[in-house]
Structure 1
Amino acid sequence: MNFPIYYTMSGYRFTIFILIIGSVSPIFSQNHWDDYIAEKNIGNTYQVFGDNVNLRDSSNLNGKVIKKLSLGNQIKILTKTNQILEQNSVKEHWYKVQAGDETGYLWGGLIADYSFPLEDLTILCKNLGIKSGKLELKILRDSKLVSQGSFEVGPMSNETWNHTIYNAKLFSPSPKVLFAIKFLIFSEIEYGYSNEQVFILNQDLKILPQFSWNPGACDPPACAETWLVFPKETLPEDQKLGRKQYKGKDNTIIELMHSFDIDEPNQHDYYQTEYKWNGIRFQKKEN
């Protein structure tokens, strides 16, 4: 079976790695991201994150209501205004948008930051702002809300979003869906790092967070990379990297981190973490 490689690091191993690169990297002042305001991309299409949302004729709460928008409605960002509103710790710009045949103004806090289809569902993602450090998800089916939840992930940027849908049938009893959302987290050491948060949907469509992975990084001379081994997969031996062969285990995701120093080609350290599926969640086991 061809083996897919994912470059990731577990949370606690990433902490170790940060301590390593801290000796060779300048440390920014604490909370250098405090003034960051998440922004939407001009010209892109997004989905409405709220329900019964007012599309207005001006960029403020006193603007006349042109149209009511529903959860999941599509809108296109035309321009960003200089008007900023903060509500419930979410601080965002107002935008001029196209909603069907109407053009008007909508506050960014009512617009999903990222969305994607998943089987017969749609996943809406919302960055709840630097102050809260939370990610909110809403699950739609036929434009109807079927599940939602907010999860602490840290101070998020809107610069990078992506997702991965994994094969839930590799695990027994299978969750309905196994997926991950990738986003950028601000860091004290560097500008930021990508974080991938894994979720499952159970048979009742409840969102259950599992574990997060942080992509490998390199701040010479210290570097790290990680491979994931799923059931029925094999990570081949690599003598150059000093890595032995790893075979997937039933109902388990193996995470193997490789840390190395580019100035010391014979120095290779490996750390293994296992996530064992118990039918409800992936339980972490460190070796």
Structure 2
Amino acid sequence: MHFPIFYTMSGIVFFLSLLLTSLISPILSQNHWDDYIAEKNIKSTYYIFGDNVNLREADHLNAKVIRKLPLGTVIKILTKTNQILEQNSLKEFWYKVQVGEETGYLWGGLISDYSFPLNDTIILCKNLGTKTKKLELKILQGSKILSQGSFEVGPLSNESWDHTIYNPSLFSPSPHTIFAIKFLIFSEIEYGYSNEQVFTLNRELKITPQFSWNPGSCDPPACAETWLVFPKDTLPEDKKMSRKTLKGKENTIIELMHSFDLDETNQHDFYQSEYVWNGSQFQKKEK
């Protein structure tokens, strides 16, 4: 069963609010995330996101190079320094890291932000900064890139990462892989909201972005909870919220959002979208 329940704003209210924000934002001199610098977790392990990356003796570009690190090298973050470097609109700290038995310094822009295994590969995720509003993915086998791509997702935070791997055999003709990456997007409406971006891979491992949905948060008094209903699933009736039984459809992912008001306990509204698989894309249909 695929019924993750999350709290977020009503779909209609959410998108109207985003539209209002986009109209107002040119007047504003600064967004609250403009000075945000993504940070790595101390004592955590990461993968090198660049190739032939210089491991240096100190936290600046003029420091002596200890050795070069290939793409996909595993490193451990020891400490964050107070040195910041900005390149290509990406601003990050320098870190003291451990590579095997050696220690040295790396700029954070050359280190992945999140990763997870997928079959016999590793997917590396890189936040390209709140200025670019892009997420870059690389699919690695060892140190070899099998596929890669960058996708505009909004001003991305490093505070919350997760992933889900879905069952591709539920769809026909089935894609090679269906996976989703969850992250936090900064927002003017509230501090930020959770977002899940769904991707597919074909047999050649080409990455295709499909659709995103908002497992986000609650902006009281307006809140909502969202379910994804996959083929062969059944979302049962819930009389307390006036929700009817919803059965999954062939080759379709149904997104059902239940919006409610914390101050009006008898108010329940439902908003449904369907994403129909055509062999290469999930095409959205509003209901």
Q: TM-score, normalised by structure 2?
A: 0.92
Q: Does 1:80 align with 2:80?
A: yes
Contact 1:5 1:228 in 2 (8 A): yes
Question: Equivalent residue for 1:142?
Answer: 142
- Which residue of structure 2 lines up, in the alignment, with residue 33 of structure 1? 33
Distance 1:11 1:283, change over 3 A: farther
1:285 aligns with 2:285: yes
Task: Please give the alpha-carbon distance, in whole angstroms, between the structure 2 residues aligned to 1:10 and 1:231.
Answer: 26
Which consecutive aligned stretches of 4+ in structure 1 deviate over 6 angstroms post-superposition? 8-11
Aligned to 2:194: 194
How far does residue 5 in structure 1 lie from its aligned partner after superposition?
2.9
Equivalence for 1:250: 250
Deviations 1:5-35 (A, max 9, x none): 343779964624747xx9xxxxx98511111
Deviation at 1:139, TM superposition (A): 0.3
Alignment CA distance shift 1:8-1:279 (3 Å): farther
In the TM superposition, 1:198-277 aligns within 5 A as 198-277=198-277
Aligned residue pairs total 279
> Residue type of the partner of 2:147?
S
Displacement of 1:261: 1.1
Structure-1 residue corresponding to 2:133: 133
Supply the distance in 1 between the matched residues of 2:252 and 2:211 (Cα, whole angstroms). 13
2:3 maps to amino acid? P
Q: 1:181 — aligned with what?
A: 181
- Give distance in 2, aligned partners of 1:281 and 1:10: 26
Aligned partner of 2:120 in structure 1 is 120
User: Does the CA-based 8 Å contact 2:11-2:257 persist in structure 1?
Assistant: no
Paired amino acid for 2:247? K
Q: Distance in 1 between matches of 2:157 and 2:185?
A: 6
**1:100 offset after TM fit, Å?**
1.1
Match of 1:4 in 2: 3
What letter is aligned with 2:85? L
**Aligned 8 A contact 2:49 2:71 in 1:** yes
2:159 corresponds to 1:159: yes
CA distance 1:10–1:276, shift in 2 (3 Å): farther
What letter matches 2:283 in structure 1?
Q
Return the offset for 1:221: 2.0
Alignment of structure 1 residues 54-73 onto 2, 5 Å: 54-73=54-73
Alpha-carbon distance between aligned partners in 2 of 1:3 and 1:212, rounded to the nearest angstrom: 16
Change (3 A) 1:216 1:82: closer
Residue identity over aligned pairs, in percent, reads 73
User: Equivalents in 1 of 2:261, 2:4: separation in Å?
Assistant: 21
Report the AA paired with residue 140 of structure 2: L
Secondary structure, in 3 states, of the residue corresponding to 2:130? coil
Instruction: Render the CA deviation track for 1:128-148: whole Å, top value 9, x for unaligned.
Output: 001100000000113311100
- Find the residue that maps to 2:160 and give its secondary structure: strand
- 1:11/1:80 Cα in 2 relative to 1: closer, same or farther (>3 Å)? farther
**3-state DSSP of counterpart to 1:204:** coil
Residue type of the partner of 1:198?
V
Aligned-partner Cα distance in 2 for 1:4–1:273: 15
Secondary structure of 1:240's aligned partner: helix
SS of 2:6's equivalent? coil
Cα separation, 2, equivalents of 1:189 and 1:173: 40
- Which segments of 5 or more consecutive residues in structure 1 lack a partner in the other structure? 23-27
Mapped to 2, the partners of 1:167 and 1:196 lie a distance apart of 16
Match of 1:25 in 2: none
Q: What is the alpha-carbon distance in structure 1 between the residues aligned to residue 161 and residue 170 of structure 2?
A: 26
1:189 deviation in Å? 1.4
Q: Which amino acid aligns with 1:231?
A: P
- Offset of 1:217 from its aligned partner? 2.8
Whether 2:14 is the aligned partner of 1:15: answer: yes
How many angstroms does 1:190 deviate by?
A: 1.1
When residues 167 and 10 of structure 1 are mapped into structure 2, their CA distance, relative to the original with a 3 A threshold, is farther
The residue aligned with 2:103 is 103
Deviation string 1:129-178 (CA, Å, 9 cap, x unpaired) is: 01100000000113311100000001011111100001111001111110
Q: Which amino acid aligns with 1:5?
A: P
